[in-house]
A and B are shown apart, each in its own frame.
Chain A
């Protein structure tokens, strides 16, 4: 059951969306988020939705996978929608039940808020679906390289992130195994109140932590044996390089974002 958890799942492929430099994709997502927060008209949202649709089409990821990504946050979307719908003050009251009243402004806000969250999530998911976690980490490390001058341990953070990504499946598998082993000793994870359920987690968490520490220890030795000594003088198997398509994509992204901001002024 734990195996069903997906964290930024990557769908391998060989489309332009996959081949873009990870740095380009991260920057594009940033631009896209800026545009989303500047959008304040149906037209602007329409344009952004169309842009997303085109990107999804190019990436061949399939809209279904993206919609599936929305599932865990349905509650948040509905909650924010309702909050905006019922609690936005305004002049034009459309309907009223007791203390709840729906205004025209509320309806508009609710719609925009829901669109914004959905487009935001689908956009970022599209990036993680088309970029392997390791090249994403690589891209982030390179993009934030300038922060090393401020003594921010960029390389170390990137290393931590990629090792975490590497060990997530291993630890999930291990959790499954420990749960089965404790169930075989009659552990009960289902019944009882919250306190009892929390207590029932101890037989899982203690072995899991102990094993994680042991793994960390062994991994550290293995990394040392393979001559790891920080990023001093380190080279890379895959060197990131901007290509023509990256410049084109970034230029297009910048133009669209500028357009969305301009729309604000004119409408």
Chain B
């Protein structure tokens, strides 16, 4: 697979030259591949939010580079706005950025800034709304009449409508109830499946990451701690736990079973896989 985004030796230091000087991101390097669903996890303060604001040029690196399609995004600082259309960033609690009179107009804000007009604009807005499950009859309503979960969907559609090559989502399900979380993640999975575009999902929830992504990047105090497929990362559960991070509940059950002497694959991290594993074990046990 081709890398679409490349982070190379990225360092970002806040308050340079004051007693408060501190690096939120230090010498970070990794690639994001075209079409993948990448999960980023790490504590508050691990550098996640600073990192993602570099991906679309909201922050400028203190040193290091971000390459998009192989080109340094800061090669021409005047064209940084174009980068923001190609790397769409949805902040935490994005519903607080809604401002237009109607849902339609709010979703259209991004694509209009992009220069889209007429039929193309209309197509982008309607398609994005459909992707997040906003009905046509809701497009004319004021966004402030909607429920919390629906507001969040509108905000998400506002970024999807710019049709970015990479969609970065910062804690998209924060504060939602279990049903709301699952519905929203289903919308995001559909978007990924239909559009075949790259998604970067930042989350605190190991379970959410475990259930959705192809590859995980674990951050710890401004550095990349490890990266790999979920099975690879969760197989190193001990390291994650000692770094003060969670692992999925299923991984912990599997660890407990291994401690008790059952031969469970360390790479198991979903309920379904552990169930299969246990059934196989029972069959095997019955056979001997």
Complex A–B touching at CB under 8 A: yes
- Interface of A with B (CB < 8 Å)? 174, 177-178, 180-188, 202-203, 206-207, 210-211
**Apart from A203-B99, A207-B98, A210-B144, what are 17 other A-B pairs with CB-CB below 8 Å?**
A177-B91, A180-B53, A180-B58, A180-B91, A181-B91, A181-B96, A182-B109, A183-B84, A184-B58, A184-B84, A184-B159, A185-B97, A185-B110, A186-B162, A187-B113, A206-B99, A207-B97
Chain B's closest residue to A178 (CB) is: B97
User: Which residues of chain B are within 8 angstroms of A184 by Cβ–Cβ distance?
Assistant: 56, 58, 84, 88-91, 159
Which residues of chain B in 103-133 are interfacial with respect to chain A, using CB atoms and an 8 Å cutoff? Answer: 109-110, 113-114
Contact (Cβ within 8 A) B81 A188: yes
Other-chain contact of B109, A174, A203, A210 (Cβ < 8 Å):
A203
Which residues of chain B in 69-101 are interfacial with respect to chain A, using CB atoms and an 8 Å cutoff? Answer: 81, 84-85, 88-91, 94, 96-99
Other-chain contact of B84, A186, A203, A207, A211 (Cβ < 8 Å):
A186
List 23 interface pairs A-B (beta carbons < 8 Å), by A numbering: A177-B91, A180-B91, A181-B96, A181-B97, A182-B97, A183-B58, A184-B56, A184-B84, A184-B89, A184-B91, A185-B97, A185-B113, A185-B158, A186-B84, A186-B114, A187-B109, A202-B99, A203-B99, A206-B99, A207-B98, A210-B96, A210-B144, A211-B96
Expressed in whole angstroms, the minimum distance between the Cβ of B9 and any Cβ of chain A is: 24
Expressed in whole angstroms, the minimum distance between the Cβ of A193 and any Cβ of chain B is: 17
User: Which residues of chain A are within 8 angstroms of B114 by Cβ–Cβ distance?
Assistant: 186
User: Which residues of chain A are within 8 angstroms of B113 by Cβ–Cβ distance?
Assistant: 185-188
A180–B56 Cα distance when bound, in Å, is 11
A187–B91 Cα distance when bound, in Å, is 15
Number of interface residues of B (CB under 8 A): 23
Instruction: Report if A185-B159 is in contact (Cβ < 8 Å); known contacts: A202-B99, A203-B99.
Output: yes
Which of A174, A178, A181, A185 counts the most B-chain CB atoms under 10 A from its CB?
Answer: A185
Expressed in whole angstroms, the minimum distance between the Cβ of B141 and any Cβ of chain A is: 16
User: Which residues of chain B are within 8 angstroms of A203 by Cβ–Cβ distance?
Assistant: 97, 99, 109
User: Which residues of chain B are within 8 angstroms of A202 by Cβ–Cβ distance?
Assistant: 99
- Interface of B with A (CB < 8 Å)? 53, 56, 58, 81, 84-85, 88-91, 94, 96-99, 109-110, 113-114, 144, 158-159, 162
Chain A's closest residue to B94 (CB) is: A181
Expressed in whole angstroms, the minimum distance between the Cβ of A13 and any Cβ of chain B is: 16
Contact (Cβ within 8 A) B58 A186: no
Contact (Cβ within 8 A) B91 A186: no
Expressed in whole angstroms, the minimum distance between the Cβ of A4 and any Cβ of chain B is: 11
User: Which residues of chain A are within 8 angstroms of B81 by Cβ–Cβ distance?
Assistant: 186, 188
A139–B218 Cα distance when bound, in Å, is 51
Chain A's closest residue to B158 (CB) is: A185
Chain A's closest residue to B15 (CB) is: A3
A184–B89 Cα distance when bound, in Å, is 6
Chain B's closest residue to A205 (CB) is: B99
Expressed in whole angstroms, the minimum distance between the Cβ of B240 and any Cβ of chain A is: 30
Expressed in whole angstroms, the minimum distance between the Cβ of A186 and any Cβ of chain B is: 3
User: Which residues of chain B are within 8 angstroms of A211 by Cβ–Cβ distance?
Assistant: 96
User: Which residues of chain A are within 8 angstroms of B158 by Cβ–Cβ distance?
Assistant: 185
A207–B144 Cα distance when bound, in Å, is 10
Which of A186, A187, A202 counts the most B-chain CB atoms under 10 A from its CB?
Answer: A186
A184–B110 Cα distance when bound, in Å, is 8
Expressed in whole angstroms, the minimum distance between the Cβ of B180 and any Cβ of chain A is: 19
A181–B98 Cα distance when bound, in Å, is 10
User: Which residues of chain B are within 8 angstroms of A188 by Cβ–Cβ distance?
Assistant: 81, 113
Expressed in whole angstroms, the minimum distance between the Cβ of B36 and any Cβ of chain A is: 21
Expressed in whole angstroms, the minimum distance between the Cβ of B287 and any Cβ of chain A is: 57
Instruction: Report if A186-B99 is in contact (Cβ < 8 Å); known contacts: A180-B53, A180-B58, A203-B109.
Output: no
Instruction: Report if A185-B162 is in contact (Cβ < 8 Å); known contacts: A180-B58, A207-B98.
Output: yes
**Top 5 A-B residue pairs of the complex, sorted by shortest distance between their CB atoms:** A186-B113, A206-B99, A185-B110, A181-B97, A184-B89
User: Which residues of chain A are within 8 angstroms of B88 by Cβ–Cβ distance?
Assistant: 184
Instruction: Report if A207-B96 is in contact (Cβ < 8 Å); known contacts: A177-B91, A184-B58, A184-B88.
Output: yes
A50–B11 Cα distance when bound, in Å, is 48
User: Which residues of chain A are within 8 angstroms of B91 by Cβ–Cβ distance?
Assistant: 177, 180-181, 184
A157–B90 Cα distance when bound, in Å, is 39
Instruction: Report if A178-B53 is in contact (Cβ < 8 Å); known contacts: A185-B158, A186-B113.
Output: no
Expressed in whole angstroms, the minimum distance between the Cβ of A47 and any Cβ of chain B is: 36
Expressed in whole angstroms, the minimum distance between the Cβ of A15 and any Cβ of chain B is: 20
Other-chain contact of B96, A178, A183, A186, A187 (Cβ < 8 Å):
A178
Contact (Cβ within 8 A) B99 A185: no
A207–B97 Cα distance when bound, in Å, is 6
A166–B90 Cα distance when bound, in Å, is 28
Chain A's closest residue to B81 (CB) is: A186
User: Which residues of chain A are within 8 angstroms of B110 by Cβ–Cβ distance?
Assistant: 185-186
User: Which residues of chain A are within 8 angstroms of B96 by Cβ–Cβ distance?
Assistant: 174, 177-178, 181, 207, 210-211
A186–B112 Cα distance when bound, in Å, is 9
Contact (Cβ within 8 A) A186 B85: yes
Expressed in whole angstroms, the minimum distance between the Cβ of B77 and any Cβ of chain A is: 12
A181–B81 Cα distance when bound, in Å, is 13
User: Which residues of chain A are within 8 angstroms of B84 by Cβ–Cβ distance?
Assistant: 183-186
